[in-house]
Amino acid sequence: MEKKLTIAMSESDRTQKIMSGQEKLPSFILEPQKASVEEIFVKQISEAAYDVAELSLASYLIALGRGEQRLTAIPVFLSRSFRHNAIYVRSDSPWVHPSELKNRRFGFPEYQMTAAVWVRGFFRHEWNIANDEMSWYTYRDERVPIETPAQRGTGDDIFEALLRGEVDAIMTARRPPAAYFPATGEGGLIRRLMPDVWEEERQYYRKTGIFPIMHLVSLKEETVKQYPELPQQLYNLMLNRKNEGIDQMLETIKNNTSAPWIWESVEQSAKLMNNDIWPYGVKANWHQIELFMSYLQEDGMLNKTFTAEQIFHSSVLHT
């Protein structure tokens, strides 16, 4: 008899066929739960609400540091992004590089969000600005209750806060509204801080070999104890789906996206990243997970680091 599991994830080429039921997990029926990724994170980290769920890397590690025992994880990284491109200023701003923002007011949606942890790490280690040399602002509650040095901004609209001058720059994973930031990325009330940000990101990758992880896949420990074969089976399914998604992007008989030069983009990424443009598994990613834990420690949100055995289920440690 097939076992029913709740699953909550954002949709992408890495998840869509699984969430739609086109690709199945042997012996299980996956029941998709519809919610925004932010809602998924809050419910999973506060209630362990889903058998399987996408989860913020930072919130998961912070929760582990506070004794979380309801969840485990597999090294399936559903979201990755450099986030240099997610730093915005007003269009009339004089600044064109993060190193110019020392002693400025900088806004994040949330202090503990993974992207914010990476960006503060970039400020310290790439752009030579310490945490206490910036004034931090946030615009929503922390999903894991935790004390931060950030001041709560006025309201919850980070873009309006930037435009009215409450902050000088922001980092936001979500693209600004089209009314402020057109599809071309130019000519609006808001602009990206760095003019050639895509090259900045490539240079960061050439220097570090890091394509920053944002989200992993969490599993409820109670469910895993009942079905110990689940983590390995789910990892294999999601690895195959990710690889097939990349193959489909490269297929030229039909463009599977609406990006006209998608093939050039994927080929150039493969050339830069030694063919593995979106790596899953512990071995390929452990170096940056260790680095990320050190960033959490520097931020005061983690008082110890973890081994791979403490972060991931034992059945996927060989990956």
Reading the chain (319 residues) residue by residue, the pLDDT tens digits are 789 999 999 999 999 999 999 999 989 999 999 999 999 999 999 999 999 999 999 999 999 999 999 999 999 999 999 999 999 999 999 999 999 999 999 999 999 999 999 999 999 999 999 999 999 999 999 999 999 999 999 999 999 999 999 999 999 999 999 999 999 999 999 999 999 999 999 999 999 999 999 999 999 999 999 999 999 999 999 999 999 999 999 999 999 999 999 999 999 999 999 999 999 999 999 999 999 999 999 999 999 999 999 999 999 999 9
Does the predicted TM-score (pTM) go above 0.75? yes
Indicate the burial class of 49 (C-beta count within 10 angstroms; 0-12, 13-18, 19 or more).
Answer: middle
List C-alpha distances in Å: 56 to 64, 93, 300.
Answer: 12, 31, 17
DSSP single-letter state for residue 137 = E
Please tell me the distance from the alpha carbon of residue 141 to that of residue 148, in angstroms, as a whole number: 11
E-strand stretches of 57-150: 71-80, 87-90, 105-108, 135-138
| Integer Cα distance of 43 and 21 in angstroms | 23
Tokens of 237: 């399914």
CATH homologous superfamily for 84-208? Answer: Periplasmic binding protein-like II (3.40.190.10)
Select from 3.40.190.10, 3.40.50.970, 3.40.190.150, 1.20.1260.10 the CATH code of 3-81+212-316: 3.40.190.10
What are the extents of the domains in the chain?
Answer: 3-81+212-316, 84-208
Tokens for 258?
Answer: 């609406």
Q: Helices then strands (H, E): number in the chain? A: 11, 11
The encoded tokens of residue 214 equal 């944002």
